[in-house]
Structure 1
Amino acid sequence: MATDIAAAAHALLRARRERQWLDALPEGARPQTLDEVYAIQALVASELGPVAGWKVGAATPQAEPSGAPLHADTLRWDATPFRADAFNLTGIEAEIGYRLRANLPPRDAPYSRDEVLDAIDALHPTIELVDSRFKAMGPDKLSHAADQGSHGALVIGPALSEWRHIEPPTLPVTLSFNGTVTVQHVGGNSAGEPIRLIQWLANTRARAFGGLKAGMVITTGSTTGMLFVPPGTRVRAEFAGVGVVETAVL
């Protein structure tokens, strides 16, 4: 029996509106494939407003990427604190993001790596706040992927315009909570080199949304793993040679 895409989207949207978190998606509405995940994401996105960015990642440097659209009301360009009660679950991930200066609209010929590089305006340190419309992060990974990839908000740090020399897999990253270093290592992103993720996004996932557009921010997966934080946590992520991004959940 076909998965009920509309019922899945309705359940996720209702959970957002009413803040009544889900144990699971309804029977018959749980995605079984990535195509069904993306169909649910698209229906939810159509109710959340224009797409202003993307999150994209991969389990290994060779794995097929996956992604989810992000919306303007979850992108934050400064260190203004978040209210803890704005979230259900509050996970923290330090990530590398890229802002586009040019459109990459759908077309028949795939975009080359060089074309994608030329479309990028700047690199940004970012912090993704992970959230969920489910009561807990459970084993049904496809349902959580359908829930906007468990996105809560994205804090975007200062732009680095001279970024082409930066190699994220060799980039030291330090993540601190309330002044205490929690993660400090080199690289850390399971996807490896991130430009291939944006190239994949332009050539596949973003096509159904009219392609990638100038001004969009694309964040390319966690470099620190996901760490849950309680209210009262101030977060600082520093990427050596790139910059610092900060936020707080109060």
Structure 2
Amino acid sequence: MTEQEIAAAVALLVQARRSGKQIEALPVVPSSVAEAHAIQDHLAALLGETVGAFKANAPPGKEPTRGLIFARMIRPSPARIASSEVPHLGVEGEVAFRFTRALPARDTPYTRGEVSGAVVALPAVEVVSARFRNALTRPPLEQLADCIANGALVPGTAMQDWPNLDMARLRVSLLVNGKPVVEQQGGHPTGDPLGVAVALVNMMREAGGVRVGQMVTTGSWTGLRFLKS
């Protein structure tokens, strides 16, 4: 994408976020993860939004990706969110990590031990809602440019003793209106949510690092569930 094409994509996403009106597609689909990330970063700057968290993916053998979650859309549990803010009404049960110390930009990669020592773990619900009318039909890099369709994040209570948990085999329950929709053991896409956090930290090494208090949510254990208002 040229700088003009990136600017046009950003302008359309800004308009969609400010107006609440969904769009069909971007003028040009990004051709790389770097271009999609650049669109996100320009979007945050133009909107003047503070980045409070990230959603991250780190599929084995593939390039990791991240989506920005703006601070005003982080709603501590128990949360109430207007359907007008997140019209697609998707939810995913996840494990997130909150950074208890900064991991600033640097040349060398952060190790798993360094990241583990800088976070606490917490349960979270990611609310999924895109700026595209039919988000799931859009190409993956176009969804990535739209912050991977993040609508909001609802973090729960942090667990200081999380290193003692068998993270690959956590028991997961998702209830809707008091009725279980998912009840299972395990289910994370990679079985290693901390590994996704490590990938996020190293993605951010050349983009200012991560700050104290920021969070990263690390992938759905429940699949994407679309609810009603």
Normalised by the length of structure 1, the TM-score is 0.85
Deviations 1:52-80 (A, max 9, x none): 1111123x444432111222101111313
Structure 1 partner of 2:53:
53
Give the aligned residue type for 1:53: A
SS of residue matched to 1:107:
coil
Could you tell me how far 1:85 is from its partner in structure 2? 1.9
Counterpart in the other structure of 2:226: 228
Number of the residue aligned with 1:217: 215
Residue 23, structure 1, aligned to residue 21, structure 2: no
CA distance 1:73–1:84, change in 2 (3 Å): same
Partner of 1:33: 32
**Contact 1:88–1:133 (Cα < 8 Å) also in 2:** no
Deviation at 1:199, TM superposition (A): 1.5
2:174 — aligned with what? 175
CA distance in 1, matches of 2:206, 2:147: 15
For residues 159 and 118 of structure 1, what CA distance do their matches in structure 2 show?
A: 14
For 1:103 and 1:80, locate their aligned partners in 2 and report how far apart those are by CA, in whole Å: 27
What is aligned with 1:247?
Answer: none
Q: Which moved more, 1:13-22 or 1:41-50?
A: 41-50
Contact in 1 for aligned 2:77/2:155 (Cα 8 Å): yes
1:7 aligns with: 8
Question: Is residue 119 from structure 1 mapped to residue 115 from structure 2 by the alignment?
Answer: no
Deviation at 1:128, TM superposition (A): 0.5
Hey, what does 1:163 align to over in structure 2?
162
Q: State the match for 2:190 in structure 1.
A: 191
Distance 2:193 2:216 in 1: 10
Aligned partners of 1:224 and 1:156: how far apart in 2?
16
- Distance (whole Å) between structure 1 residues aligned to residue 221 and residue 96 of structure 2: 11
Once superposed, what is the RMSD of the aligned Cα atoms?
Answer: 1.6
Tell me the alpha carbon deviations over residues 19-54 of structure 1, each in whole angstroms, 9 at most, x when there is no partner: 22111112xx22111111111111112124221111
Deviations 1:68-116 (CA, angstroms, capped at 9, x unpaired): 1222101111313111222221100000011111110011121111111
1:69 matched residue in structure 2: 68
Displacement of 1:214: 1.1
Q: By percentage of residues, which structure has more strand? A: 1
- Alpha-carbon distance between aligned partners in 1 of 2:37 and 2:91, rounded to the nearest angstrom: 24
Identity rate of aligned residues, in percent? 35
- Structure 2 alignment gaps of length 5 or more: none
- What does the per-residue CA deviation read over 1:156-175, in whole Å, with 9 as the maximum and x for residues that have no partner? 10111111012322111011
